[in-house]
Structure formats: C-alpha cells, structure tokens
Structure 1
Amino acid sequence: MDIFPAIDLKEGKAVRLYKGEIKSAKVYGDASEFAKKFEDMGARWLHIVDLDGAFGGEPKNLEVIETIRKSSRLKIQLGGGVRDEQTILRYTNMGIDRLILGSIALKNPFFAKEMASKYNIAVGIDSKDGKVALEGWVKSAQIEALDFAKEFKESDIQAIICTDINRDGTFSGINVDLTLKLAKASECFCIASGGVKSEKDIYELSEKFQEHKIKGGVIVGKAYYEGKIDLSEILKNFRI
C-alpha cells in the first residue's frame, strides 16, 4: 500500500481543514519545508491540494508548487482547480507526476477519460452522505458516489481518490467500507482520504486491501500535523 503525505495549500502555506470548510483552515507552516521532511522520512509520493484553486476554479499556488517540484525528488500527485487540458499540460510540463480531476470529472466524465488516455490522471470522488460533492466541496451533486465510480471501470484512469468529507480532518477513522466499495466499482487503484486518527487505521486498511485483493493507498494529513502518528515509522514499514 502506498502512503501519500499531504500538503493542502492556502495562500502558499501548508494548512488543514475540518470537513472541508475553508474557514476552519489551520496554518502549519512553510509547504516546501514539509515536502523536504516527507522526502527525508522516505516517502515516495506527495499529495498536494491547491485549496485556493479548488475554491477559485483555477490554479492559485503555482509558485510554491513549482518550488516544491524543483527541490524535491518525490512523485507529486496534485489537485485543486485542474479543470481544463491547458492546466493539465501546464502542470505536466512542470513535472507533476499525476493530476487529480474532481469537479470537471463529475460534470464531464468523458473529458476525464479522454485526458487519462493522454496524461497521468486520477479522479477525486469526494463523498458527503453518499453523494458526490464538487467545487471545493461547497456544492453537492445528486449522483451517488458508487455510481460515479463505475464510470471509470475499464478506463485509463490511474487512481480513484476516495474522500469521506464528513470524516476529513476529524480523526474519526477511515471510511474503509466506502473505500472498498469505490475500489470494486471502479476497478482502479484506490486511495483512501479523510479521518486517519492512528497508525492502527492505516494497518487495518492495508489488511482489508489484501483481504479483498485491492491495490491502493492512503493519504495522511492532519494526523501527522497534529502528532497523532509516527509517519516516519509508517513509511519505513510500507517501504518496498
């Protein structure tokens, strides 16, 4: 299972939210410094979300993202405001390894699948009470998250990122059941996001992935920033 340390960007700083509410943002410090720490711990991937971009509909933290890209050997998975091919191409040329499509994938699944045939693309499925949320989680669509995941079965999508908004930043545990259902529906590499509270959560998810023969990963954010887990130890245990 891959571990994805996370950096959520707001005005160039690393922050975390509570249930996706932008007003709840807690600033933790310089994003580039955290990227360096994650690399030194032995991480292979870095998960970045441009929160300003997610809410604004276009990239807003390009300078700090480019700084991280140039100074780090980590593979970078990035989302937030990625809603057209021009933006995908811009980030790809910058050296970003995988782009996450959220709102635009929901509005136009064909576009997401088309982009996945040309670029390294993941789809973010952000679920609130079973429904898909969009545009920085401020709106809810009427489509069920499970039905949306089925859209990407037999596509070139590299990964599905499964977020339970009600658990995001709450330390209430990973929604393993939702993650497994979306993984099976999409038949894609599935990355769980939201609610990690302890090392136990991560190991239990890994066991469930093995039990159901699912390839996937987990995003670790607030649990690290608030000192709930020993990320360096976790990375050591999951290192190939």
Structure 2
Amino acid sequence: MVLLIPAIELRNGQCRRRIQGPSGTEEYFARLQQQPERMVQLLREENARSLHIVDLDGLESGSPSEENGRATERIVDAVDIPIEYFSVFRTAAECERWLHRGVFRLVISDLVMTCPEAVERLVHRYTPSRIVLGIRARNRFVSIGMETLSDVDLALRAKALGMRRVIYSDVEWEGTYRGPDFEMITAFAQDVRMSITIAGGIDSPQELWRCNTLRSVGVDSVIVGRALAENRFPCQHIWRQVEALLEKKSDGSQKKS
C-alpha cells in the first residue's frame, strides 16, 4: 500500500487548517492549530509515519519565513518520525543548516535550475533520500524565475544531478477534492522513471487505492492535508471521536479539581 503522509501547512507560524473534530472539541483543536508542535504530536499518536511540512508564506513570497522556520524547528523536536520540509532554499548552506538541524528530507525546486552544481554536491553528501525535487505544476509546466519548462524537463534535470524522487502537485488540484489527474501522473512517471509522491487532491480511501495501482510506475506515497483535517477517512473519524471523549474527560477532571 502507498504510504500516506500527513501535511501541515504553516502560515504565520501556525497551522493553516484546523481539524474539524466532533462537537465539544472546538477549543481543543483551535489550540492545536496555534501550536503546530502539538498538532504533529497528535498526528504521530494517530500513527503517522512521516510528516510533510510546508512553509506557505515562503513559497508565496519567494523568501523563507523565519516564523514558519521557528515553528518547523519546534516540530522537529516534538516527534520521533522523519520530517519533510518544503520551503524556499536559496543556497546549499541553507539546505545544510536544515539537514543538520534534524529535518530528514528537503523538498527543493529552484536550486535545480539556479545552482545545479550545489544540488549535485548535496545529493552526493546527504543521499537522494534526503534531497528530493518538488514540482508544483500548472498544466504540466513549471515556472522558475523567468524560465518556464515542462515538468518532465525539470525532473530529468534533477535526475541528472542524482535526485531520485519527485513530490508532484498541480495548482489545479491542491487543496481541492477534484482528485489528481491519474492519467497525467502515469504518463509523467513513465517518462521520468523516478520514485513519485503525489501531493494533494486525495479525498477518499477509494482514491488511495487508485494511487496504489500506480506503484508499478513508481508512485509509492501520497501527501494529504485537507482531507485528514476534515476526517475524510474512516480511521481519522474514529480517532477524532476518541480524542473528543478524552478531551471531555480531561475538562471534567479539571473542573472537579
């Protein structure tokens, strides 16, 4: 089965999305939204095996967010599972700082075009497992600076530098329930022959099973954010019901004391 990786999108140092728990847990999940390090601990308790952290402010502005960076450092310290960080990395030195800080994997894109030699050295030193390509495409094309190139072209350039994994998303399906374009993903995977993580668009167990049918072309994992926050999967719904009961018991104990 493909690995499901929960996503935490950071904005102003807080989680962009709030978990929609059962009645009575609104304040509890509001607190978690403001404290990403506690949110990831909850996801770990729900059996997450890895986490995908996104610096939304950085990706939108083109400059890494210091506030989201500090939140990411707290996240790294809070859990014992691999953290994957997607932000704006302008130099190899910035990448190395994060790897030494405890982030397991960095998701990069611009550096492949702007500093290919540095990327090649990073991959050689830290292995392809820790330096991976992030593609946020629009209709199969990616814009980096003043240049626009196809998703396949960017992936093959990264592959030539030693990179072996692509985290692929499209702005048309990010944060929506339209679902990934499975035919497009299949064609892309066959062209690049790399390990692929699909990011965004997944909203049901049925779509997870469909992703599983693409294992033969290299798809081995999916990143899910909104659907987990909205309890779109049966296991999430059960966990959140239990969390609601525990929270009510905790509130009751505090009132008695």
Q: Give the TM-score normalised by the residue count of structure 2.
A: 0.76
Q: Is this contact kept in 1: 2:143–2:149, CA < 8 A?
A: no
- The equivalent of 1:182 in structure 2 is 188
CA distance in 2, matches of 1:38, 1:133: 33
CA distance in 2, matches of 1:14, 1:179: 28
Give SS of 1:117's match.
helix
Deviations 1:158-210 (A, max 9, x none): 4200101101111101222233333333322100012112111111111222x
* Structure with greater helix percent: 2
- The equivalent of 1:19 in structure 2 is none
Q: Is this contact kept in 2: 1:75–1:97, CA < 8 A?
A: yes
Superposition deviation, residue 57 in structure 1: 1.8
- The equivalent of 1:44 in structure 2 is 49
The more displaced of 7-16 and 172-181 is: 172-181
Work out the number of aligned pairs and report it. Answer: 217
Q: Give the TM-score normalised by the residue count of structure 1.
A: 0.81
Superposition deviation, residue 110 in structure 1: 4.3
Structure 2 CA distance for partners of 1:133 and 1:40, relative to 1, 3 Å: farther
Larger Rg: 2
Instruction: State percent identity of aligned pairs.
Output: 23
Q: Which amino acid aligns with 2:187?
A: K
Structure 2 CA distance for partners of 1:148 and 1:195, relative to 1, 3 Å: same
Superposition deviation, residue 131 in structure 1: 0.8
CA distance in 1, matches of 2:191, 2:118: 20
1:1-80 paired onto structure 2 within 5 Å: 1-15=2-16, 29=33, 30-54=35-59, 55-60=61-66, 61-80=68-87
Superposition deviation, residue 151 in structure 1: 1.9
Q: Is this contact kept in 2: 1:35–1:68, CA < 8 A?
A: yes
CA distance in 2, matches of 1:231, 1:48: 22
Superposition deviation, residue 34 in structure 1: 2.0
- The equivalent of 2:106 in structure 1 is 99
Structure 2 CA distance for partners of 1:216 and 1:83, relative to 1, 3 Å: farther
- The equivalent of 2:241 in structure 1 is none
Superposition deviation, residue 69 in structure 1: 0.7
Superposition deviation, residue 12 in structure 1: 0.9
Q: Is this contact kept in 2: 1:69–1:95, CA < 8 A?
A: yes
CA distance in 1, matches of 2:124, 2:183: 29
Superposition deviation, residue 94 in structure 1: 0.9
Superposition deviation, residue 215 in structure 1: 4.7
Which structure 2 residue ranges, 5 or more long, are not aligned? Answer: 18-29, 238-257
**Does 2:119 correspond to 1:112?**
yes
Give SS of 1:4's match.
strand
- The equivalent of 2:156 in structure 1 is 150
Superposition deviation, residue 109 in structure 1: 4.1
Q: Is this contact kept in 2: 1:193–1:219, CA < 8 A?
A: yes
- The equivalent of 2:170 in structure 1 is 164
- The equivalent of 2:229 in structure 1 is 225
Superposition deviation, residue 105 in structure 1: 2.1
Superposition deviation, residue 103 in structure 1: 2.2
* Structure with greater strand percent: 1
Superposition deviation, residue 156 in structure 1: 2.9
Superposition deviation, residue 111 in structure 1: 3.6
Q: Is this contact kept in 1: 2:119–2:161, CA < 8 A?
A: no
CA distance in 1, matches of 2:46, 2:76: 17
Deviations 1:188-238 (A, max 9, x none): 2100012112111111111222xx3525210001111122224559xxxxx
Superposition deviation, residue 124 in structure 1: 0.4
Q: Which amino acid aligns with 1:199?
A: P
